[in-house]
Chain A
Amino acid sequence: MAQQTIRQAINQAFHQEMERDSTVILMGEDIIGGTGSPGEEEAWGGAMGIYKGLYRVYGDRLLDTPLSEAAFVGAAIGAATCGMRPVAELMFIDFLGVCFDQIFNQAAKFRYMFGGKAQTPVVIRTMYGAGLSAAAQHSQTLTSMFTHVPGIKVVCPSNPYDAKGLMIEAIRDNDPVIYCEHKKIYDTTGDVPEEMYSIPFGEADIRRDGDDVTIATYGMMVHRALEAADQLAADGIECEVVDLRTLSPLDTDTILESVENTGHLVVVDEAPPRCSVAADVAAQVARDGFRDLKAPVGMVTAPHTPVPFSPELEKHFVPSADKIAACVRDTLDD
């Protein structure tokens, strides 16, 4: 099986789905890159190079957009109600502020408001997270802003295999899907089958088995949680790391089953703590798995602050493997 990066895995998903389904179109700022410019056409293939090579094959099914998120995200949503399957790129999740209306008031609500007589199969892929000193307006983890809204689905892969399978599922899904990619893990490699496959939404993946404590997290934090689990294993503490994979729908069954076995839960999230995915998981386990818990739920999140610029400050902002390991120990000692 070929080793691929997350970047390559998403690119392959696009190639295969565009080949299979002519209604799939891609749009966003600079996704071709160089449109109308004197230099090379397809100079960029997107800010992160996700789209490299697609324009040569699929031509006008890729659209560079003006810097105009409200208009083109809305256009993707409108086209989706008219039989297309658009994938629109919101380059940074932070830009959600200028186009959220189209996502949460329009796409999310059409099916309900129109009495079940609408389908909006749009995918909005976006990049989140800190780690590049991109500071407060280019580094946020706003995932819970989407999971709060009924009518949209939220996907957050941690590895190349999931990135491809979840993107294919997202494109084929008939509801609006927000597909969140952490900007620090595009070059993470892993086994990715050449053939098309999809991963159903709402199925968490147990990335490491363990009997002592459950760590529930998603996206880049899965890597930090696995590092912490390695550290703790040296001391004989076995963590079960649950990769949520999709935040809406959320696979609470897998989390609860794991907690039933371990009796301890640590939730990890790169977002600030209030009303976060971490807080949501903790609340659901407190409600439905309270009797299985032998200690209070541990929570490792960013602080309730904007994301700082300085690399030194940013390092302290993002939850580290050490902080996760310390929280696990506290939980077990409680």
Chain B
Amino acid sequence: MSNDNFPLSRDELLRAYRTMKTIREFEERVHVEFATGDLPGFVHLYAGEEAAATGIMMHLGPNDHIASTHRGHGHCIAKGVDVKGMFAELYGRATGTCRGKGGSMHIADLDMGMMGANGILGAGAPLVCGAALASKYKKDGGVAVSFVGDGASNAGNFLESLNLAAVWDLPAIFVVENNAYAQSTSRDYAVAVDSYVDRAAGFGLPGVTVDGTDFFAVHEAAGEMIARARKGGGPSLLECSMIRFYGHFEGDAQTYRAAGEVEELRANRDCLTRFAQQVAQAGVLEQADLDSVDREVAALIDEGVAEAQQAPHPSEDQVLTDVYVSY
């Protein structure tokens, strides 16, 4: 890559790096805070997978929708959900994104087009078909992106949605984040085809597999798919091969992983390291630029956690509110 024909502007590169770094630091901090016992519930971390969410979401705007997985923090941050609100939500506080009623596994912000992490795997895919259908009726140029892991890629709701999107020619993108494990079960055991591109073809959808730790590869492939969908070219499937730095959930002892596997991945396949190398080689960003972002992000994370820990708990009456619009 040379500076002259680099695919992104300096501002865009800084935005991409800031997003990836924010996700990483958010997750690393959640890992620590969870271990100290202050965070309630279940959390599933996106650390190691930042390039996928960021490379895709760089192409999305306010009219576009996404539906996420259990592992939703990265998708939220990349879609523009407020980080401080997210911390407060994870702590179950009244100031949280969902006023403390959703938590990590159900965090959502419809105002930002984020239709929710989901406690039910694959369940976001039908919802994304609906968002894409609404955009088609409203003619607002919106696209909708469904994220599933390699595990949920076997779920009927996801497979039915591939067909529905193809039949209705919806502006929808189905992203399979293949991190090689469904909880502890390996992808190769549970999926009989070698490539998700073959599955997509079986439903009449174009599909592409990219290295999900390469921000630029994801960004380019997603950009083509999203642009095609926006122009009425229909749905596509994007498989991102990626890696998980932590267990399925926090507290997972990961005894099913090979000895040294995570250390090797962190050393050799860290998407943030790779991004830094790519922009340095191309001479488009200086280390000082990245350092400056790092400091901003660190401050944001510190503030976010401190504010969340001080934020009020929801009042007792909140148990009974928000069930219906009217009843």
Report if A and B associate in a common complex: yes
- A contact set with B: CB distance below 8 Å: 23, 25, 61, 63, 65-66, 68, 70-84, 86, 98, 101-102, 105-106, 109-119, 150-151, 153, 173-175, 202, 249
Measured CA separation A86–B108 after assembly (Å): 22
Measured CA separation A153–B157 after assembly (Å): 24
A71 and B133 contacting across the interface, CB-CB below 8 Å: no
Measured CA separation A115–B110 after assembly (Å): 11
B120 in the interface, Cβ–Cβ < 8 Å?
yes
A71 and B127 contacting across the interface, CB-CB below 8 Å: no
B102 and A111 contacting across the interface, CB-CB below 8 Å: no
In the A-B complex, the 9 residue pairs with the smallest Cβ-Cβ separation, listed nearest first, are: A74-B126, A78-B130, A115-B99, A78-B127, A71-B160, A82-B134, A79-B130, A116-B322, A115-B98
Q: Which residues of B contact A109 (CB under 8 A)?
A: 106
Q: Which residues of A contact B110 (CB under 8 A)?
A: 81, 114, 117-118
Measured CA separation A66–B161 after assembly (Å): 10
Number of A-B residue pairs with CB-CB distance less than 8 Å in the complex they form: 154
- B contact set with A: CB distance below 8 Å: 65, 67, 96-102, 106, 108-111, 115-116, 118-120, 123, 125-131, 133-135, 137-138, 144, 156-157, 160-161, 163-164, 167-168, 321-327
Q: Which residues of B contact A82 (CB under 8 A)?
A: 65, 130-131, 134-135
Measured CA separation A74–B97 after assembly (Å): 24
Partner of B101, one of A101, A112, A119: A112
Q: Which residues of A contact B128 (CB under 8 A)?
A: 78
Q: Which residues of A contact B138 (CB under 8 A)?
A: 83
> How far does the Cβ of B149 sit from chain A's closest Cβ, in whole Å?
17
**A66-B164, A83-B138 given; A77·B130 CB < 8 A:** yes
A75 and B127 contacting across the interface, CB-CB below 8 Å: yes
**A81-B131, A101-B120, A153-B324 given; A114·B101 CB < 8 A:** yes
Measured CA separation A316–B312 after assembly (Å): 59
User: Which of A63, A70, A86, A119 has the most CB atoms of chain B within a 10 A radius of its CB?
Assistant: A70
Closest to A36 in B: B167
Measured CA separation A173–B324 after assembly (Å): 10
Measured CA separation A312–B134 after assembly (Å): 48
User: Which of B97, B129, B130, B131 has the most CB atoms of chain A within a 10 A radius of its CB?
Assistant: B130
Measured CA separation A111–B108 after assembly (Å): 10
Q: Which residues of A contact B97 (CB under 8 A)?
A: 115
A70 and B325 contacting across the interface, CB-CB below 8 Å: no
A114 and B108 contacting across the interface, CB-CB below 8 Å: yes
